[in-house]
């Protein structure tokens, strides 16, 4: 299969890339790892007049750490995230999620930045980004800004970034207290998109009270979503099996999956959200040292 | 660099040889290898990024060459299955696939061999689970995978024997 023709730009710097996007007036799309975009171009689901390949911009390929935060460059590959000891020590949820993405070849090319910008509701990174309350670091013609994970996804395959902006990195801030995490994903076969995925990050204090709860859901809405009501159910009090079960029930009620011929009915997915949320919460609470 | 609907000059290393060609930006790496360079050992199985038959090494990392443009490989080093032998002698991985009968029709084999090369470089002594996880991006419709897994295991042993 051959994609249609397109103009090809390969800037060496971020500044050059932003200028190209600005001058294209919406005709150009960024090519990152290409693991979603190239199959779409090949099957001609989309046709794009110009591609700006940011694969040679080295400043986007760094993992940086501060005292209490981590920044993953938008062009760091899923494989390099998976293998990064720094990432694993600071945010083991990110490492766990990385292993569930596609297959080894996809992880060798795919990037967290590209996946978030593609904003596929079935992309695993979205749930992780939401559960950890990440921030998207964005550069455009008017300078840089940070977008909170809660306002990043604006609908199916769309984000609140404008067409001349580039995602340069994703920032994650350390969460106080004793932490636990889990990503529970159900897939039809190895490497498939999630039928359902639930990413959980929680923190508890020395008295067992939950001081942080992040629950992100994959494949059950028109974009990756946060199960905010389910988080509230466990936040601010000691976690019990009863509150976990109730939180899982709320997550399954508040999501909005659709019927699909490959991966099952909306009802089935809702059921799985309940199961996965419960499993993920139990695992996360135990890791954080909680007794349930 | 900006090119509008024209060809672009790329230079890369393929199986140890320097290659320079003018290509259209939309040319896929797999077509570049097979058609421009006549390296037809790299197979196109599904053409939809699912099967892994087109797997090659790009700067040491396994990639699906049907899901990359040739222009993205500009400046890189590529190894295809043709680059696995040296002086007419098969690599340990190729030998292992013969020894353990890790193929039937052979269509997926070039991709399996290249993915095995990546896996064994990252994990020289993989468990069976790690091998199965490692080749999860490569489909085989004949063998049922058992002999492929055995081949990769055997290759890991002979390769480690070499380095001791």
pLDDT in tens, A83-124: 999 999 999 999 999 999 999 999 999 999 999 999 999 999
Q: Tell me what the mean pLDDT of segment A226-238 comes to.
A: 97
Please tell me the CATH superfamily of domain B8-83, with its number: Beta-grasp domain (3.10.20.30)
Under 8 Å between Cβ of A168 and A175: no
Residue intervals of chain B classified under CATH 1.10.150.120 are 92-163
- Residues on chain A touching B74 (C-beta within 8 angstroms): 10
Is the predicted pLDDT of residue A274 greater than 80, yes or no?
Answer: yes
- Rounded to whole angstroms, the Cα distance separating A109 from B39 reads 22
Task: Tell me the CA distances in angstroms from A94 to A70, A80, A134, B113, B132, one per residue in order.
Answer: 11, 12, 11, 30, 22
Task: Tell me the CA distances in angstroms from A238 to A204, A212, B22, one per residue in order.
Answer: 8, 12, 65
β-strand A69-73 against A135-140: which pairing, if any?
A: unpaired
Task: Compare all CA atoms of chain A with the CA of B24 and give the residue at the minimum distance.
Answer: A5
- Rounded to whole angstroms, the Cα distance separating B97 from B59 reads 24
Residue intervals of chain B classified under CATH 3.10.20.30 are 8-83
For the record, the structure tokens of B52 come out as: 């892994």
Which pLDDT belongs to residue A70?
A: 98
Under 8 Å between Cβ of A179 and A202: yes
Nearest neighbour of A103 by CB, restricted to B26, B28, B137: B137
pLDDT tens readout for residues A167-210: 999 999 999 999 999 999 999 999 999 999 999 999 999 999 99
- Rounded to whole angstroms, the Cα distance separating A41 from A48 reads 8
In this complex, how many residue pairs, one in chain A and one in chain B, have their CB atoms less than 8 Å apart? 98
Task: Compare all CA atoms of chain B with the CA of A105 and give the residue at the minimum distance.
Answer: B63
| Chain B: closest CA distance from residue A76 (Å) | 14
Which pLDDT belongs to residue B27?
A: 97
CB contact (8 A) between residue A79 and residue B61: yes
Which pLDDT belongs to residue A292?
A: 87
Which pLDDT belongs to residue B5?
A: 53
CB contact (8 A) between residue A108 and residue B61: yes
Is the predicted pLDDT of residue A58 greater than 80, yes or no?
Answer: yes
| Chain B: closest CA distance from residue A67 (Å) | 30
Domains, chain A, ordered by start: 7-53 (3.30.43.10), 58-173 (3.30.465.10), 178-287 (3.30.390.50)
Q: Could you tell me which residue, A67 or A181, shows the higher pLDDT?
A: A181
Is the predicted pLDDT of residue A46 greater than 90, yes or no?
Answer: yes
Which pLDDT belongs to residue B163?
A: 84
Which pLDDT belongs to residue B3?
A: 53
Report, at the CATH architecture level, how domain B92-163 is classified.
Answer: Orthogonal Bundle (1.10)
Q: Tell me what the mean pLDDT of segment A46-65 comes to.
A: 97
**ipTM for the assembly:** 0.96
For an interface test with A, the pick among B1, B11, B23 (most A C-beta atoms closer than 10 Å) comes out as B1
Which pLDDT belongs to residue B1?
A: 52
Which pLDDT belongs to residue B157?
A: 97
- Rounded to whole angstroms, the Cα distance separating A54 from A14 reads 8
Q: Which residues of A touch B (CB under 8 A)?
A: 1-12, 20, 31, 34-35, 38-39, 41-43, 51, 53, 55-56, 79, 102-106, 108-109, 190-191
For the record, the structure tokens of A205 come out as: 């204090």
Nearest residue to A162 via CA among A28, A9, A49, A34 = A28
Ramachandran angles phi, psi of A289, nearest 5°: 90, 10
What is the residue-level pLDDT of chain B in tens, covering all 164 positions?
A: 555 558 999 999 999 999 999 999 999 999 999 999 999 999 999 989 999 999 999 999 999 999 999 999 999 999 999 999 999 999 999 999 999 999 999 999 999 999 999 999 999 999 999 999 999 999 999 999 999 999 999 999 999 998 87
């Amino acid at each position: 299969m051959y994609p249609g023709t397109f103009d090809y730009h390969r800037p060496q710097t971020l500044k050059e890339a932003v200028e190209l996007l600005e001058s294209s007036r919406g005709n150009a799309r960024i090519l990152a790892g290409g693991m979603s975009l190239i199959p779409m171009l090949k099957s001609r689901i989309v046709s794009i007049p110009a591609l700006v390949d940011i694969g040679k911009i080295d400043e986007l390929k760094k993992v940086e750490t501060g005292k209490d935060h981590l920044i993953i460059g938008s062009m760091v590959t899923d494989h390099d995230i998976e293998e990064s000891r720094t990432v694993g020590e600071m945010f083991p949820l990110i490492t766990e999620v990385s292993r569930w993405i596609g297959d080894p070849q996809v992880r060798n090319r795919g990037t967290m930045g590209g996946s978030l910008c593609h904003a596929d509701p079935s992309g695993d990174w979205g749930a992780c980004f939401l559960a950890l309350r990440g921030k998207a670091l964005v550069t455009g013609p008017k300078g840089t800004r940070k977008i909170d994970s809660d306002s990043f996804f604006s609908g199916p395959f769309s984000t609140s970034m404008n067409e001349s902006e580039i995602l340069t990195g994703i920032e994650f801030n350390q969460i106080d207290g004793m932490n636990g995490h889990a990503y529970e994903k159900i897939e039809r076969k190895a490497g498939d998109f999630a039928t359902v995925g639930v990413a959980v990050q929680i923190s508890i204090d020395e008295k067992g009270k939950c001081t942080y709860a992040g629950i992100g859901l994959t494949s059950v809405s028109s974009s990756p979503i946060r199960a905010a009501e389910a988080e509230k159910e466990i936040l601010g009090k000691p976690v019990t099996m009863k509150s976990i079960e109730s939180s899982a029930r709320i997550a399954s009620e508040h999501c909005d999956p659709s019927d699909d011929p490959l991966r099952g009915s909306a009802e089935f997915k809702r059921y799985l959200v309940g199961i996965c949320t419960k499993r993920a919460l139990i695992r996360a609470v135990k890791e954080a040292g909680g007794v349930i | 660099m900006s090119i509008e609907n024209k060809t672009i000059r790329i230079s890369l290393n393929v199986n140890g040889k320097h290659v320079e060609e003018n290509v259209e930006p939309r040319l896929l790496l797999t077509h570049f290898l097979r058609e421009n360079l006549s390296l037809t050992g790299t197979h196109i199985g599904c053409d939809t990024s699912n099967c892994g038959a087109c797997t090659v090494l790009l700067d040491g990392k396994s990639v699906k060459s049907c899901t990359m443009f040739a222009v993205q490989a500009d400046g890189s080093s590529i190894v295809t299955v043709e680059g696995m032998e040296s002086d007419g002698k098969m690599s340990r991985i190729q030998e292992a696939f013969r020894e353990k009968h890790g193929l039937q029709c052979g269509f997926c084999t070039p991709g399996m061999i290249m993915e095995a090369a990546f896996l064994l470089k990252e994990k020289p002594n993989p468990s069976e689970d790690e091998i199965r996880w490692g080749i999860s991006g490569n489909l085989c419709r004949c063998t049922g995978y058992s002999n492929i897994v055995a081949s990769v295991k055997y290759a890991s042993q002979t390769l480690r024997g070499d380095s001791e």
